[in-house]
């Protein structure tokens, strides 16, 4: 099936997205954009509809109404694997990896290739993976593991890693995949501040290599650290957007956060 493109300057353009579960309006006429080459934050209190929104964008749920444009291409109705092949990938709140494969194999297989589609459908041993992958892919994967401080773990099975290490492998896989846009779903969940800083640097690296980033996160210091602008959801709808600093005095945002927008001191302040 081919889809016609629609004029839009944004990497991601969400227009009037809605999803109801019975009488619950999980996402209700939600509209926002994620500018190309920028980091967009998506925040809001629990139950705001953030998770449902990204499920709708990435094809894991079907919307009741609305349009999702990715680089001008409508996504609604496409399954997740079709959307990922267009260059939009997303992570999940719990890292997902091929537990039985090594760290190196997990990173090598992140780069989808139509001629090696079977890689995505089964569990491969290292010998077969090395046979199928080109030397250039293996070299690229090793370089990325070095960048993320994972070289010593390259032959370790991914299922044996700690939660923080799995998250780093996930970020290494994103770098290897080179998507046009990645949606990070609560990357700071259960992560210590040192690892959080490494992830912030990794996000800067994504932008530098041409990947637009959207971050769904409750950790507001991290959001202010990494984002160019922020979209705020409450009760399924977008109630504000703009630079993080401008949201502190926004009455709708303050009300959504039960009367107080969390504050903190910037590092080194």
Kindly tell me if the per-residue pLDDT of 70 is higher than 50: yes
- Residue 226: band (very low, low, confident or very high) from pLDDT cuts 50, 70, 90: very high
Tokens 């039960």 locate to 258
Q: In terms of C-beta density within 10 A (0-12 exposed, 13-18 middle, 19 or more buried), how is residue 13 classed?
A: buried
State mean pLDDT over 170-176.
92
Q: What is the C-alpha to C-alpha distance for residues 121 and 221, in angstroms, rounded to an integer?
A: 38
Q: At residue 148, what are phi and psi to the nearest 5 degrees?
A: -95, 10
Residues 6+ apart with CB under 8 A from 46: none
Length of the chain: 269
Span 145-154, average pLDDT: 91
pLDDT of residue 123: 46
For residue 4, what pLDDT is reported? 54
CA distance 63 to 219: 27
pTM as predicted:
0.83
Q: Between the CA atoms of 12, 164, 191 and 212, what dihedral angle is there, to the nearest 10 degrees? A: -20
pLDDT score, position 17: 96
Whether residue 126 has pLDDT greater than 80: no
**Mean pLDDT across 38-47:** 94
| 181 has pLDDT over 90 | yes
pLDDT band at 118 (very low <50, low <70, confident <90, very high): very low
Q: Quickly state the pLDDT bin for 127 (edges 50, 70, 90).
A: low
Q: Determine the pLDDT at residue 223.
A: 94
**Residue 98 pLDDT greater than 80, yes or no:** yes
- What confidence score (pLDDT) does residue 32 get? 97
CA distance 123 to 139: 21
Quick one: pLDDT at residue 96? 80
């Amino acid at each position: 099936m081919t889809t016609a493109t629609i004029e839009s300057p944004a990497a991601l353009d969400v227009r009037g997205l809605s999803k109801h579960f019975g009488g619950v309006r999980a996402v209700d006429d939600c509209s926002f954009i994620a500018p190309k080459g920028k980091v967009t934050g998506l925040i809001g209190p629990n139950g705001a509809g953030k998770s449902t929104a990204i499920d709708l964008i990435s094809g894991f749920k079907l919307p009741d109404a609305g349009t999702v444009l990715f680089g001008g291409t409508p996504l609604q109705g496409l399954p997740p694997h079709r959307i990922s092949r267009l260059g939009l990938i997303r992570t999940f709140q719990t890292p997902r990896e091929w537990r039985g494969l090594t760290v190196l194999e997990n990173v090598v297989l992140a780069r989808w290739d139509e001629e090696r589609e079977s890689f995505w459908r089964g569990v491969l041993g290292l010998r077969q993976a090395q046979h199928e992958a080109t030397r250039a892919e293996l070299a690229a994967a090793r370089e990325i593991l070095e960048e993320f401080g994972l070289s010593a773990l390259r032959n370790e099975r991914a299922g044996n890693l700690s939660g923080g290490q799995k998250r780093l492998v996930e970020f290494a896989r994103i770098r290897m995949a080179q998507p046009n846009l990645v949606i990070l779903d609560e990357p700071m969940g259960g992560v210590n501040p040192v690892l959080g800083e490494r992830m912030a640097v990794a996000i800067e690296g994504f932008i530098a290599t041409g990947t637009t980033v959207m971050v769904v996160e409750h950790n507001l210091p991290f959001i202010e650290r990494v984002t160019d602008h922020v979209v705020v959801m409450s009760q399924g709808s977008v109630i504000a957007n703009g630079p993080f600093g401008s949201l502190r005095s926004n009455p709708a945002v303050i009300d959504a956060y039960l009367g107080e927008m969390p504050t903190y001191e910037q590092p080194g302040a």
